[in-house]
Structure 1
Amino acid sequence: MWSRHLLALALALAAPAALAQEIVGDAIPKSLTGQPGDAARGRAIVANRSVGLCLLCHSGPIAEERFQGDLAPSLAGAGTRWSAGQLRLRIVDGSRLNADTIMPPYYRTTGLQRVARNFEGKTILTAAQVEDVVAYLVTLKD
């Protein structure tokens, strides 16, 4: 009996995230939160090496941050190259587009390997943070 209740609870908690992540082509067209993100907060997340970790691999138009990455594409012009939905999917789970990507899935909790116990079942970014980063990246038009 308890196992049925636990299963129902787990499904109920997972359903909103799963529904919000409907993939169409190479994009997640709908916001994960139903609300637009905030570009200023998104820029802060991208620049913060202890939150977004973006600049470990990417470079971008964030002059105050020295020692930016060169393993991944520059974020400059991201809003020209990709739509909000395409950026959203790349942040949520880039492995859906490239199984060999080294970019971690920022909004996925299943099918992961070598996750420290204190991070199990947690996403790197919240849905709101993903939307904030998307809002910032779409402003980068070169």
Structure 2
Amino acid sequence: MKRKDYLSWTGIFCGSAALLLVWVSFMAGPFSPRATLEGMLAIKAVAIKQATFAALQGKELIPAAQHWDIDRIIDMVIAILSAAAIICGVIGGVLRENRHAAGAAILFGISVAAFQFALLMSGGLLLALLIFSLAHGIFT
């Protein structure tokens, strides 16, 4: 009787879908419109003013509800698919399914997290380089 490796293959599917979503989100995103810097500063200034007046009047401060846009939903789906890939790969390995399929599922799930971490670190490195070059240009 042929053994079925359902969990490992489900993990591979989830991991590859998450990796594909990360690439599409990175290359084509952001999908929701973003406010300009001036608009964000104006919104923050109005929020600070309203919070200050509410605190001075003794009213209870109500935190603003978080906004769900398509980019945030895509990030949540990516995290869920990545975690599902890792979990399915681990459980598939414990159940002694095909070790190559279980390893591939774990690898896909971890590669999604590693790709996002690498993007974050490269953005931080570029920001530090920009600040250093601006400081070097100002002080020399």
Q: Which has the larger radius of gyration?
A: 2
Give 1 or 2: higher helix fraction.
2
Q: Which has the higher relative contact order, 1 or 2, with Cα contacts under 8 A spaced 6 or more apart?
A: 2
Q: TM-score range by the shorter chain?
A: under 0.3
TM-score, with length taken from structure 2: 0.23
The TM-score, its normalising length taken from structure 1, stands at: 0.23
